[in-house]
Amino acid sequence: MRPGLLAKLKHVQQVLASKVVLEDGFSWPPKSIAGLDVAFKGDMAFSACVLLSFPDLKVLEVSRASSRPRLPYIPGFLAFREVPAMLKALRGLGQEPDVVMVDAQGIAHPRRCGEATHLGIVAGLPSVGVAKRVLCGTYPTRPRRPDTWSPLYHEGDIVGFIYLSKARCRPLVISPGHLISLETSLRLVRACIRGHKLPEPTRLAHLAASEMARQA
C-alpha cells in the first residue's frame, strides 16, 4: 500500500461526510427506486443496478457493468473499491431513479461515510444503505419480532436502525446515505420487504451481480 494512502482516503471521506444532507431530496412516495450491489471474481468487479417502480416494486430495467477495481479491499474504505463499479451500472440506466438503495452502510460508518453515502454524494441522488452487519455503534435492544427495530447510536447520535425484516434471520442495518432522512430511510426499506430478509431492490441487485460473477 502506498505511503499516506489511508490518510488521503480518510480525508476524502471526511470531506464527503461534511456534504451529507439528512433531509428528503424527493417527495413521498418516490416513483422509482434502484438497487445496487457488486460481486467479485478474481480481479474483476461485476455490478448490477435494478430499477423498480414504487410502491409495487415491478422491475423496469436492469443495468450491468464490469470493471477492474483500482484498490484492494481495505476495511472501512470499501467505497473506493466498489462505488466506481456501482456508478458504472447506475449510469447505464435509461432513466434516473428517485432514490438508490445500496447493499452497504450509509452514515453508520466510523467517519459517517459508508458506500451509500459516498455514492449518493458523487451521483447527486438520494441514497440509503442496507447492510448485513454493524460496522460501528451500539443499540439498546435487539429486535425480536419481524418488522421491529431499534435505534443505532454512534458517538451520541442516531445513525440508523437495527431492523429485523424476517424471523430467524440476522437483523439488517439501515442508515441514510444522502438526501434522505432517518425516518424515511426506515420507511422506505420496510416498504420494500417482500417475504425475504433483504429488501427487493438490493436482493435483486445481489442476484444479478452474483450471476454475472458466476458466468464470468
What are the tens digits of pLDDT across the range 155-166? 999 999 999 999
Bridge partner list, 40: 45
Dist. CA 127–CA 106, nearest whole Å: 8
Contacts of 67 (CB under 8 A, 6+ apart): 44, 45, 47, 84, 85, 88
Q: CATH code at 118?
A: 3.30.2170.10
Is residue 140 one of the residues assigned to a domain? no
For residue 120, what are the domain limits? Answer: 30-128+177-215
Write down the pLDDT at residue 1.
59
Is residue 113 one of the residues assigned to a domain? yes
Is residue 11 one of the residues assigned to a domain? no
Question: Beta strands 44-53 and 59-67: pairing type?
Answer: antiparallel
Write down the pLDDT at residue 3.
66
Write down the pLDDT at residue 148.
98
C-alpha cell at 73: 479491499
Q: Which of 103, 155, 128, 105 is nearest to 21 (CA)?
A: 128
Is residue 63 one of the residues assigned to a domain? yes
Is residue 153 one of the residues assigned to a domain? no
Is residue 92 one of the residues assigned to a domain? yes
Contacts of 48 (CB under 8 A, 6+ apart): 36, 37, 38, 39, 62, 63, 64, 89, 205, 206, 208, 209, 212
Residues of the chain with pLDDT below 50 are none
DSSP letters for 72-141? ---TT-THHHHHHHHHHHHTTSSS--SEEEESS-SS-STTS--HHHHHHHHHTS-EEEEESS--S-B-SS
Is residue 7 one of the residues assigned to a domain? no
Dist. CA 14–CA 111, nearest whole Å: 6
Is residue 86 one of the residues assigned to a domain? yes
Omega of the bond prior to 55 within 30 degrees of 0, cis? yes
- Give the chain's domain count: 1
